Amino acid sequence: MAKIAFLGAGAMGQAMIPNLLRGGHSVCVYNRSIDKARLLEANGATVAATIAEAVQGVDALFSMVIDDNASRAVWTGPDGVLDSAASGTLAVESSTVSSNWLRELGGLAAAKGLRFLDCPVAGRPDAAAAAMLVVFAGGKAEDLAAVRPMLEPMSRRIVHFGPVGTGIAFKLIYNVLGAVQVAALAESMNACEAAGIDLHTAADALSDGNTGSPHVKRHSRAMAEGKHDNPIGFTPHGRLKDTLYGCQYQEQIGGQALLGYAAAALFQQMIDIGWGERNDSEAIDGLREESKRRKAKSNT
Ligand SMILES: NC(=O)c1ccc[n+]([C@@H]2O[C@H](COP(=O)([O-])OP(=O)(O)OC[C@H]3O[C@@H](n4cnc5c(N)ncnc54)[C@H](OP(=O)(O)O)[C@@H]3O)[C@@H](O)[C@H]2O)c1
């Protein structure tokens, strides 16, 4: 069984780490705010006050933080991973970061002799808690084989796309599709309401037909019932970050991201009304607010 450092105990880390422990691995957790790391002591994790302390003598380390800035801080900050981890350590970036940063990081990690992989994941914290994540892996086959026994207790499927950078490339494209579905659903449900259609009936019919993707099934129910994930599953801030990374990547490789940018605009609208830290499924309420605002403006 492996000795692992897990860097990042946000919503995803909180859900993933207990599965690593259940899988028989030992886990030392570092989180910028140490209180969140301490919550995992009850599951058998140890807590480190610094990244350097967490990665001391480990077989593998995982980073699971919010974005490029956070990832840079974890890997390249003073006493960060690149300064502290021993050459030969399996080093996994699981955060959803931009393709540019991931590729730069892959180069920096390789120069330090780390066995680097990008393994972003699909699945919300509840899927992570149920060990139902899907891992999108990029890296050498032998490094993935070495890290597989650590990924397996957290996931239902591991897909290897190719060398370093391909896991994040797929994840960014996948996220744009997901964001478009959630944003389009919010508009459709809001339009159903304006058309006088009962939202429970709408959710049922949208979920049953060709439109019934897992996103539509899950979020249409939440929108109809007005009952959203608690604790919060994924925020408009997170959605906007993922969607913009994805749109920029698609353009960078010569594609377009017309629909992706439209979805991003809807999440930006939620942030503008102060709802950036709510659930993304509350996008329908964001649209209702916006309609009210427009009506009030046209009445003045
Ligand atoms: N939630 C989902 O549904 C979901 C699904 C799949 C993938 N993801 C991806 O998984 C990653 C983690 O998401 P999450 O939901 O766990 O996010 P989260 O709950 O918001 O937690 C964010 C984590 O990043 C850390 N962090 C933020 N800024 C930092 C900085 N400058 N330096 C060091 N650490 C920093 C936070 O530390 P503090 O506690 O100190 O703030 C915390 O550990 C993201 O890349 C997200 O896109 C999320």
What are the residue ranges spanned by the domains of the chain? 3-163, 169-299
As a whole number of Å, the CA-based R_g of the chain is 20
C-alpha distances (whole Å) from 46 to each of 17, 39, 69, 278 are 11, 10, 26, 31
Residue 299 pLDDT > 90: no
**Rounded Cα distance, 52 and 173, in Å:** 33
227 is catalytic: no
pTM (2 decimals)?
0.95
pLDDT in tens, 138-167: 999 999 999 999 999 999 999 999 999 999
Q: What is the pLDDT of residue 292?
A: 85
Pocket of ligand 1 (CB under 6 A): 8-13, 31-33, 36, 64-66, 69-70, 73-74, 95-96, 121, 124-125, 233-234, 238, 242
Residue 296 pLDDT > 90: no
CB 36 within 8 A of CB 9: yes
Q: What is the pLDDT of residue 118?
A: 98
Calculate how far, in angstroms, residue 7's C-alpha sits from the geometric centre of ligand 1.
10
Residue 233 pLDDT > 90: no
Catalytic position from the list 171, 241, 292, 297 = 171
**Under CATH, to which class is 169-299 assigned?**
mainly alpha
Q: What is the pLDDT of residue 209?
A: 87
Q: Which of 6, 7, 12 to mutate to test the pocket of ligand 1 (most atoms within 8 A of CB)?
A: 12
Q: What percentage of the chain carries pLDDT values higher than 90?
A: 94
User: What's the pLDDT band for 173 if we cut at 50, 70, 90?
Assistant: very high
Kindly state the average pLDDT of the residues 194-207. Answer: 97
Residue 10 per-residue DSSP state = S
Residue 92 pLDDT > 90: yes
- Give the Cβ contact number of residue 262 at 10 Å: 16
We find that the CATH architecture of domain 3-163 is: 3-Layer(aba) Sandwich (3.40)
